[in-house]
Structure 1
Amino acid sequence: MFWRLDPKNLKPGQMVDGWRIVRKIGGGSYAVVYEVEKGGKRFALKVACQVDTRGDPKQTDARARREVVCLQKLDHPHIIRMWAHGRCGDPRSGFLYVVLDLVDGYTLGEWVRRTYPTVHEDVVVFLKLFDALEHMHGRGVFHRDLSLRNIMVTKEGEPVVIDFGAADYADAEELTDAQVPPCTPRNRSPEAVRFWRENLHNPEARYTFQATDDIFALGADLYDVLTDPTPDLSKNRPSLQGLVAPASPFKVTQGRVPLDLSTYAMMLLHPSLKERPATAKDARRPLEDFAKCEGPEWRDTRPHPVAAQLPPEPAEGVPAPVEEEQPGGVEVPIPAHPSAVQGAGVAALNSARLALRRPALVGLLALVVLAAAVAASLLHRSAPAAPFPMARSAPAEQPPPAPALAEKPTSRPAQLPSSHPTQKEASPSVRLPENSPTLTNGVPNPQKASPRRVLSKVERCALLLFTLAWVEAGCTGVQTRPDPETCPKDAVDAMEKELGWSVGYQQPAIVVDLTKGGTPHPLTKVEDAHTVFKDGPVTGELAEDEGKAQKGTRLEGHLWTTGDRIYGRYRRAHLPGGRTVPICVELISGGNLGLDKQEGSKPGAAVGSKEVNGLAVERWR
């Protein structure tokens, strides 16, 4: 019987109230979606999955009921339609399900990458989406997660808003257990982000979601569609809520996006609520005018040339990689694509040359100043002191330098090939023989040795400038963040089966370093939420029960603190009874990979939050 089966792993051919399972489409921590068949027609069956047989701590059942109510209120050609709903098994403890349209098409991000739409086609799609949003708000429903993956585009080019799992409606029961509702962080409005920051340590505070939050989210999708040729694959997007406004679509595409449409897209993202449209109807009206434009810059121009959207050709003899399904949950910022514009070959190359030339010029200037300082110091010496004889072993063989790459202006410095040093790398590359001089031994006449000379101000300044230039040029001897890599299959299986976590969705609360302690509740001082972290191995723990894993479960991992953020990965979990299972969990903060460095951070001593969220992944980013 269905209620005795695992709703997350229904097999083809099994029946759910007369609906025959065809295949599993996808799922997360809240629900799983299957393709089903009934009466010769295909539908999508979404099953709400309670995460704990002892009850429903995640309020899964209540969220499913709220989703049903929202869908019952809506009837629009560009909003997914609900055909039926029910509960399988026991009326009290069975699983709620809804039967929906089966959309044959792509997510909005995939649609951009795989169909190469023109500017006019983008306008028409978003005109229909804002029309759907107007209908939604008119019925008192807020979607609250209008991200690229929650909008589908059919093979005929018709957009469809899907996944109302985070939706809300007027007079609905309050289910949010955090300061702000769950959604894709990149699409969160500036006022919601501001509220979250101001009430970070006030667990009772609740943000009042408004229509303007949905409008901003859809505006963020429009911006990404216009500025990024592969929005479903890109990883390092510029923040939309930062102190510096992102570059306009007109600038990013070097004019391929018309200026009027670019100005409109930036208006939807304006940090001031007074400057953005107050209603979906207001946001839709300019798109009606844009849809009537007939010029070639609208009808014949694509924001992104096809070449910018094609996958790189695999190396000879290397099998083409299989495209991985994009995990749901948190998105991270992605870079602008200067190469995705007309004439980008020259523009991108010039930008890259400037990016590479800057540290080179700084380094050259530093060398000149250093040489001048050394020359001045030599002229003032009465007689140069003879250097102490030093017996050295032959230097270790160095690998040939890698060819220079034309990096994008927003790319990071080159990274080391491994996230952990090997035993060989951890040892000195040059060893002194046993009879070599040390600080006090082997030095002829140590009593008469020349005292250490104090560097002059000019020399110290030159040395500092040279060091800064070296760091600016890359400083590749220090790894600022771990490299991307695929998570071992046994770790993915352990997280899903042993811990009951949904990979790509589960975000356990983690005490980063148990030796530093967690965040006290309630806080007496804001500083109590922060501590100092250093590079190296770390042992954290779960701050609360997560799936089948209990609060206090030990997590073994590694921290990287020398870059722009604090990065962390946990690879092992110690379960009760002494058993250890592999995991893949990386630290996230505000939807971005890694933790923000707080005021007071210094090289080798980064200040960050004691307690943050992790993300269970199947591939390290």
Structure 2
Amino acid sequence: MFSDFDPLDLKPGQMVSDWRIVRRVGRGGYAVVYEVEKDGQRFALKLACQTERSPDPKQTDARARREAACLQQLNHGHIIRMLGQGRWPGALSGFHYIVLEFVDGYTLARWVERTHPTPHEVVVLFLKLFDALEHMHARGVLHRDLSLRNIMVTKDGEPVLIDFGAADYATAEELTDGPLPPGTPRNRSPEAQSFWEENRLKPGARYTFKATDDIFALGANLYDVLADPTPESSEGRPVLNSMVITPPTPHRATQGRVPMELSAYAMRLISRDLEVRPATAKDARRPLADLARFEGEDWRERPIHPAPLPLRREPVEGEPVLAPASADAAPVPSAAQRRRRRPWLRPVFVGLLALSVFAAVVAVFLLHRPPQPESPPVTRSAPADQPPASSPLTEKPTSRPARLASALPTQKEVSPSVKLPDNSPTLTNGVPNPQQVQRASGRRVPSKVEQCMLLVASVAWLEAGCTGVQKRPDPEPCPKEAVEAMWKELGWHMGYDTSGPGILLDVTKGSLEEADEQPLAVWKDGPVTGALIRPHYKAPAGMRVDGHLWTTGDRIYGRYVRAHLPGGRTVPICLELTDVRELGSEKLEGSKPGAPVGTKVSETQAVKQWR
């Protein structure tokens, strides 16, 4: 019917009703977003049409109508405003479009990378975001996809929640076809993640999304902002919604640049315990109002992530080299001269390498000495006695503006890779004492000298062409409950069997019969659900086991921590992948970084101690 144009690729100058196309700025799950102009002002126009990422193309129009219905109920300074809607090119049968205010700024992740905010600036920003979330929930609207891409920060430092394409409200019709609503997997709450793991193969299962899920998602964004200087593009970020793995605290991840009070608050927001996590956005906002009054250089002067030093540009081949500033300085040798001198540098390099190895040995010795008594930690001063601001919206702008092309992205964030588990203690309501953290971990914090020694050794190691550090979970005891369950419920004899049950690593990659025809698969870090390929004592063939894979090391490592018994009960277990008594599964030909190739079927071992 509308064969004379492509709604996914409208050209500058084309008209959509009264709006003139300027450029395309993003493409989401069910729509494409254009920057448009009318009467000399800029706006964003979201045109509902099927894209290559549409999860359910038949529901495209319904999703557009529901997004408009959600936005009509909201009126908040930090939530994007809808200015109009309609259909085009036909008033009755055309594509549904929504006109929104144009947010001239950065995504939340880009804001962190460009402005290098202080802890106070981050606190003020999230104080406003939780105020917007409180307004939204009070009107029965759930965003359901609060991600780094769906939070913008204007050039004046004001945050804005955007992209309500996955939003829902109390009386809306059900549009979800899967167990979970569309959204960003990284920001799912632990209870939503557990529901998905248990019901992803059940067509009729539906998760009831709640306000606490939005609170967790916003907390996950806060964690990423605090713990990572490039929160959107970093690889190997720690998983946040696992019932097994606890991520490192922001205080630890930044070597103390995030104050412990703010770090503890962020860990509360992403706690797997619903009794610890705030139940409402209002409860989540109150501590931020207190943290916003803290004074001191570590809160208001020192950036969480220091700006990286610019790299000196290497001269281009054939480019003339400038003379040194000092007349007495030696001239810069040419590339040919440097190549001729290179053989004379080899003995020096060998000597430096030997020195580096010696430094590594000294560092290891220092790191394994018994911890020396430390003086009691200095107690942080309480916040200044200042009256709280009448409204979080009256705070000063939080960013330092920088020139950057504006954007309004709406595409969904892809599933990230998973970092190895961290041994840091779990934070709850209290703020941990540094000595308590040290005793809990059993490790002494290395000094600056020791850290430098290790750095020198690691650089020398890499320059020598040696393999990188092995990426695998740390050894630790299997929980007592799991040992008892494996013995009593499954009849597994840990320490006596030569092998454990054979399993299909991930049931989503095909059945056992399909594995016989196509035995290999490409793997990635993350949760998996496997199945026993044969009976093993009391455990029946086909019994599902939930676990996690690590794939960034020299082998593919896997731990399965929960078994689904007949009748619906689950019990904890400790089952790890093995290959001819060697821990893990071999990476095969064709493996690439981040995408190793391995077998779909593997042997396992029931253990009392994770190796």
TM-score, length basis structure 2: 0.58
Q: Secondary structure at the match of 2:90?
A: coil
Other-structure match for 2:188? 188
Answer yes or no: is the 8 Å Cα contact 1:3–1:88 preserved in 2.
Answer: no
CA apart distance, 1:244: 2.1
Q: TM-score under structure 1 normalisation?
A: 0.57
Secondary structure at 1:9's aligned position in 2?
Answer: coil
Partner of 1:230: 230
Alignment match, 1:216: 216
Partner of 2:72: 72
Provide the C-alpha distance between the structure 2 equivalents of 1:167 and 1:44, rounded to a whole number of angstroms.
Answer: 18
Deviation digits for residues 574-599 of structure 1 (CA, Å, limit 9, x no counterpart) = xxxxxxxxxxxxxxx99999999677
SS in 2 for 1:240: coil
- 1:403 is matched by which residue type in structure 2? A
Corresponding residue SS for 1:8: coil
Q: In structure 2, do the counterparts of structure 1 residues 276 and 608 end up closer, same or farther at CA, with 3 Å as the change threshold? A: farther
The answer to whether residue 258 in structure 2 is matched with residue 257 in structure 1 is yes
Q: What is the alpha-carbon distance in structure 2 between the residues aligned to residue 33 and residue 163 of structure 1?
A: 10
Report whether the alignment pairs 1:329 with 2:413.
Answer: yes
Amino acid at match of 2:186: R
Which residue is 2:149 aligned to? Answer: 149
Matched residues, number? 402
In structure 1, give the amino acid aligned to 2:47. Answer: V
Which blocks of at least 5 consecutive residues in structure 1 are unaligned?
A: 361-400, 413-511, 521-526, 536-558, 568-588, 610-621
Q: 1:244 is aligned with what amino acid?
A: I
Other-structure match for 2:272: 271
2:487 aligned with 1:403, yes or no?
A: no
Is the contact between residue 123 and residue 287 of structure 1 (CA under 8 Å) also seen in structure 2?
A: yes
Match of 1:85, SS state, is strand
- Matched to 1:330, the amino acid is V
- Aligned residue in 2 for 1:89: 89
Q: Which secondary structure state, in structure 2, belongs to the residue aligned with residue 84 of structure 1?
A: strand
SS for the counterpart of 1:117 is coil
Does the CA contact (< 8 Å) of 2:417 and 2:526 recur in 1? no
Would the alpha carbon gap of residues 350 and 260 (structure 1) be closer, same or farther in structure 2, given more than 3 Å must change?
A: farther
Residues 518 and 114 (structure 1 numbering): CA distance in 2 closer, same or farther, change over 3 Å?
A: closer
What SS does the corresponding residue of 1:283 show, helix, strand or coil?
A: helix
1:457 alignment counterpart: none
CA distance in 1, matches of 2:514, 2:183: 24
| Matched ranges for 1:156-167 at <5 A | 156-167=156-167
Amino acid at match of 1:35: E
1:103–1:152 contact (8 Å) kept in structure 2:
yes
- What are the superposed Cα offsets for residues 134-165 of structure 1, whole Å, 9 maximum, x if unpaired? 00100100000100010000111000000001
Report what 1:476 is aligned to.
Answer: none
Q: Secondary structure at the match of 1:23?
A: strand
CA 1:352 to 1:241, structure 2 compared with 1: closer, same or farther past 3 Å?
farther
Distance apart, 1:333 and its partner CA: 3.8
Q: Quick check: 1:88–1:95 contact (8 Å CA) kept in 2?
A: yes
Q: Secondary structure of 1:59's partner?
A: helix
1:252: Cα distance to partner? Answer: 1.2
Question: Which residue in the other structure is 1:60 paired with?
Answer: 60
- Deviation of 1:253 after TM superposition, in Å, equals 1.3
Give the residue type in structure 2 aligned to 1:286: P
Query: What is the Cα deviation at residue 16 of structure 1?
Result: 0.6
Distance 1:600 1:117, change over 3 A: closer
Q: What code does the residue aligned with 1:274 have?
A: E
Amino acid aligned to 1:64: A
Map 1:300-379 to 2 at 5 A. 300-307=301-308, 315-317=314-316, 328-333=412-417, 349=452
Give the aligned partner of residue 8 of structure 1.
Answer: 8
Maintained 8 Å contact 2:526/2:548: no
Structure-2 change in CA distance of 1:193 and 1:300 (3 Å): same
Q: Deviations over 1:109-156 (max 9, x none)?
A: 000000111111000000000000000100100000100010000111
Change (3 A) 1:347 1:277: farther
The 1:211/1:48 distance shift into structure 2, 3 A limit, reads: same
Question: Structure 1 residues 221 and 534 mapped into 2: Cα distance closer, same or farther (>3 Å)?
Answer: same
* Mapped contact 2:136–2:142 kept (Cα < 8 A): yes
In structure 2, the residue matched to 1:108 is 108
Contact persistence 1:331–1:592 (CA under 8 A): no
Whether the 8 Å CA contact 1:186–1:591 is kept in 2: the answer is no
1:275 is paired with a residue whose SS is: coil
2:99 and 2:516 map into 1 onto residues whose CA distance is 48
17 and 267 in structure 1: CA distance in 2 versus 1, 3 angstrom threshold? same
Deviations 1:8-64 (A, max 9, x none): 100000011110001111113411111111111110111111359xxx844110000
Q: Counterparts of 2:144 and 2:550 in 1: how far apart (Å)? A: 19
Q: What amino acid is aligned across from residue 250 of structure 1 in structure 2?
A: H
Output the CA distance in 1 between the equivalents of 2:92 and 2:316: 57
Classify the secondary structure of the residue corresponding to 2:67.
Answer: helix
- Residues 354 and 211 from structure 1, CA distance in 2 versus in 1: closer, same or farther, beyond 3 angstroms? farther
Is 1:291 matched up with 2:352?
no
Check the 8 A contact 2:29/2:412 in 1, yes or no.
no
Which whole-Å CA distance do the structure 2 matches of 1:67 and 1:50 have between them?
16
* Kept in 1: contact 2:142–2:168 (CA 8 A): yes
5 Å-filtered alignment, 1:527-542, equals 534=519
- Show CA shifts across 1:165-188 (max 9, x none): 111110111000000111111100
Quick check: 2:68–2:98 contact (8 Å CA) kept in 1? yes
Residue 552 (structure 1) aligns with: none
Which amino acid is 2:273 matched to? S
1:248 aligns with 2:249: yes
Q: Given the superposition, is the C-alpha separation of residues 195 and 518 from structure 1 closer, same or farther in structure 2, using an over 3 Å criterion?
A: closer
Partner SS state of residue 171, structure 2: coil
Write the distance in 2 (CA, Å) between the matches of 1:5 and 1:590.
47
Following superposition, the deviation at residue 93 of structure 1 comes to: 3.2
Query: How large is the RMSD of aligned CA atoms in angstroms?
Result: 4.2
Do 2:519 and 2:600's aligned partners in 1 also have CA atoms closer than 8 Å? no
Greater relative contact order structure (CA < 8 Å, 6+ sep): 2
Native 8 Å contact 1:23 1:34 kept in 2:
yes
C-alpha distance in 2, partners of 1:84/1:331? 33
Partner of 1:69: helix, strand, or coil?
A: helix
| In structure 2, distance between residues paired with 1:43 and 1:108 | 20
Task: Report percent identity of matched pairs.
Answer: 54
3-state SS, counterpart of residue 239 of structure 2: coil
Separation in structure 2 between the aligned mates of residue 239 and residue 347 of structure 1, nearest angstrom: 29
Equivalent residue number for residue 370 of structure 2 = none
Distance (Å, rounded) in 2 between the aligned partners of 1:593 and 1:32? 35
Shift of 1:330: 1.1
The answer to whether the Cα contact below 8 Å between 2:472 and 2:550 also exists between their aligned partners in 1 is no
